[in-house]
């Protein structure tokens, strides 16, 4: 079984195909805004739903890790104290 490649001729245009198709969907102002380069100090806008989801997922992972490192013991010491030794003094002070 042999595979033969077939060439497809695309029309030569001065503008990208995506730009031609999207120009009918969006206003000229919107296309101009998104095609301009970012200026210094300008904030980067991300999709709110994804950013919020990742924020809460990361927050839950950090809180879960802290809780587990406090609950889990390595020998007679807590894992949190083994990982961060200066916390031993703080925990002793807080527990009286």
Q: Which has more confidence, 9 or 69? A: 69
Q: Which has more confidence, 34 or 74? A: 74
Instruction: Please give the Cα distance from 92 to 90 (Å, whole number).
Output: 5
Number of other CB atoms surrounding residue 89 within 10 Å: 10
- Res. 9: pLDDT tops 80: no
Q: What is the pLDDT of residue 71?
A: 92
Total H helices, total E strands in the chain: 5, 2
pTM of the model: 0.46
| Extents of the domains making up the chain | 17-95
**What residues pair up with 78 in beta bridges, in sequence order?**
73
Q: Dihedral sign, CA of 37, 41, 44, 45?
A: negative
The predicted-structure confidence for 25-73, as pLDDT tens digits, reads as follows: 778 887 777 787 777 777 766 667 888 889 999 999 999 999 999 899 9
Q: What is the pLDDT of residue 77?
A: 87
How far is C-alpha 15 from the chain's CA centre?
A: 32
């Amino acid at each position: 079984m042999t595979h033969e490649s077939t060439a497809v001729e695309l029309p030569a245009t001065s503008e990208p195909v995506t730009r031609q198709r999207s120009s009918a969907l969006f206003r000229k102002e919107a296309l101009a805004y998104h095609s301009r380069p970012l200026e210094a100090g300008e904030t980067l806008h991300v999709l709110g739903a994804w950013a919020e989801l990742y924020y809460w997922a990361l927050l839950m992972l950090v809180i879960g890790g802290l809780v587990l490192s406090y609950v889990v013991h390595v020998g007679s010491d807590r894992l949190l104290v083994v990982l961060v030794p200066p916390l031993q003094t703080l925990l002793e002070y807080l527990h009286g």
